[in-house]
Chains A and B, each alone.
Chain A
Amino acid sequence: MTGIAYTGVPSAEELRACPGIPTPERRKKGRVAVIECVQEIPCNPCAAACPFHAISIPGEITALPRLDGELCTGCGRCVALCPGLAITLVDETYGEEEGAVDFPYEFLPLPAEGDTVDAVGRDGRTLCAARVVSVRRPEANDGTRVIRIAVPKRFLDDVKSIRRLARKEEEDAWTTK
């Protein structure tokens, strides 16, 4: 069976029906939010996070968040404020061959700018190599980092995060029992 409730990965149908995905026309104009929130849950911080009112939760709080691509400036405020980490930014206009993806990241260690890392898709499988463009920790994010990576354009629809980096023992603030 497919679909987020069976696999943890939104299915193609769920994504097609999802009101949080920007149109291809809007994507051609530059950086924009992609909200892959496909299940009706009582949640709405994304709508409140957007300073441009580009995200709405029409009616009941369980409705799916709807993106108005024309209002979205790609500012990224919603990315780290979504507790579901369901929002990324895509930028098709980033380069000739490359597009950029911004995604929230809450693991340690962090990659550094310029590093080459493995870009992964919704199911955690490695899709391609990616270059880390920036690692930011905006004030409003309360600890959640937003990482921007550059990837070949043909992977832009599917890249969602990076493979977790191995921990170095000496960096380990934790002890085992």
Chain B
Amino acid sequence: MKKLRTEVAVVGGGPAGLSAAAEAARAGAKVLLIDENKRLGGQLVKQIHKFFGSEAHHAGVRGYQIARRLLRDVEDAGVTVASNALAYGLFPEKELGVVWDGKHCQVSAERIVLAAGAKENYLAFPGSTLPGVMGAGAAQTMANINRVLPGRRIVMLGSGNVGLIVSYQLMQAGADVVAVVEGADHIGGYGVHAAKLRRAGVPFYLSHTVKRASGDGALARVEIVQVGKNWQSIPGTELTLEADTLCLAAGLNPMTELAWMAGCAFLYLPAFGGHVPAHDAKMETTVPGVYVAGDITGVEEASTAMEEGRMAGLSAAESLGYGAGAALDAERAAIQRRLDDLRAGERGAIRRESKARQTAAAADQRQGGGAT
């Protein structure tokens, strides 16, 4: 088995991992970036829409183009890129088990940055295994990467930004979205994304959920029903929609397997998608030398992922003796300011609060308090 040594190993090549790798390498560290895909960029790769966020984070630029820019930075910084490489385990002494191009190898690193992103939540209901029922992410990959339209008449379950954006993209690809169905009494994602769909004639069914999907061998009908405050169905409010595709956009949850294996302390933060590793302001977890960044720390956005990635990369490099002093402190303060800014406002309040709890938990743990 091949054995590799590096100073910093970054797992995940989305906006967080790319930013972490570039920053650590620029500071002078030897960096290996590991991603399971052939094409790096994580979620960005399938995003054909112009991104939200601040100008400083390439907002207004299409997602896949942002990925290209970040990848160029990584290459310019001299990072070694292992694509088509899955990190399947993280063992004591910071050893990563990796299957790279089909071959096993063992990577021992002095510092590890986990930037594995998040995965889609799964939902079960009668008919949920019928062909035509799929995750919104899968539908997006079909349309934007493989250029195959998943269907002609789409029902989208979930009105978060993912549900809204994927609905719009499927319409751009030529499909009709016959309904966006949402269990809560309000739209989860940004109003501007919802407004695009409304202008294009898409109806929203709030306080509704999918009761069953049916069809002869493939999806043909989606039965939806109104739900009350405690999400119980209200009999007599069923409505049947004809559709050949039902996309599930029921949220994402952080990909935390490697952080569990590493022994990081976790806490449960619903606003961030579930269990997330505690970490300090420098993005270090409760396991010394193991850092986290991006959606793995709580599902947010590409802009926050990039900033957290930078923070983690700089901090990992610093702990190896690369970069120090006032310049580094100033840079970190600037990153923190941008992060706070991105979590400002009414809609950011819950994320601000969640982050505060996450860093407090790390501090507690270090003092032997033992947070969960």
Contact = CB atoms under 8 A, between A and B. Distances in A.
Given A122-B198, A177-B150, A42 B191 contact: no
B342 A61 contact: yes
Most buried by B among A4, A63, A160, A167: A4
Contacts of B192: 37, 39, 41, 83-86
A177 B171 contact: no
A124 B199 contact: yes
Interface of B: 49-55, 59-62, 142-143, 147-152, 171-174, 185-187, 190-202, 204, 206, 301, 303, 341-348
B147 A174 contact: yes
A8 B59 contact: no
Nearest to B194: A8
B149 A177 contact: yes
A83 B206 contact: no
12 contacts: A4-B195, A5-B191, A8-B204, A40-B347, A42-B52, A49-B60, A61-B342, A84-B190, A84-B196, A85-B195, A121-B199, A176-B149
Interface in A151-177: 160-161, 163-164, 167, 172-177
Contacts of B174: 108, 167, 172, 174
A10 interface: yes
Contact of A124 (B147, B202, B301): B202
Given A10-B191, A41-B192, 6 more contacts: A1-B186, A42-B53, A60-B341, A61-B344, A83-B52, A172-B174
Contacts of B201: 120, 124, 163-164
Interface in A63-86: 63, 81-86
A49 B191 CA distance: 21
A149 B202 CA distance: 22
Looking at chain A, what size class is its interface with the partner chain?
35 or more
Given A62-B344, A62-B345, A85-B196, A5 B187 contact: yes
B200 A107 contact: yes
A51 to B, nearest CB: 14
Interface of A: 1, 4-10, 36-45, 47-49, 60-63, 81-86, 106-108, 120-124, 142, 144, 160-161, 163-164, 167, 172-177
Contact of B148 (A43, A44, A83, A174): A174
Given A107-B200, A124-B201, A177-B142, A41 B195 contact: no
Contacts of A36: 195
B53 A124 contact: no
A18 to B, nearest CB: 11
Nearest to B180: A8
A9 B203 CA distance: 11
Contact of A84 (B148, B193, B347): B193
A85 B140 CA distance: 20
Given A5-B191, A49-B60, A124 B198 contact: yes
Nearest to A104: B196
Contacts of A106: 172
* Leading 9 A-B pairs by shortest Cβ distance: A62-B345, A84-B192, A8-B194, A4-B191, A45-B60, A124-B201, A40-B345, A8-B198, A83-B50
Contacts of A172: 174
A42 B345 contact: yes
B198 A123 contact: yes
A163 B186 CA distance: 25
A109 B160 CA distance: 28
B185 A1 contact: yes
B200 A161 contact: yes
Given A40-B346, A42-B345, A124-B202, A9 B195 contact: yes
A8 B55 contact: no
Nearest to A106: B172
B194 A173 contact: no
A162 B145 CA distance: 28
Nearest to A6: B186
Nearest to A48: B55
Nearest to A162: B199
Given A85-B192, A164-B171, A172-B174, A63 B345 contact: yes
Contacts of B150: 176-177
Contact of A176 (B51, B148, B348): B148
Contacts of B347: 39-41, 62
Contacts of B344: 42, 60-62
A96 to B, nearest CB: 28
A8 B60 contact: no
A81 B61 CA distance: 9
Nearest to A46: B60
A61 B323 CA distance: 30
Contacts of A122: 195, 198-199
Contacts of A174: 143, 147-149, 173-174
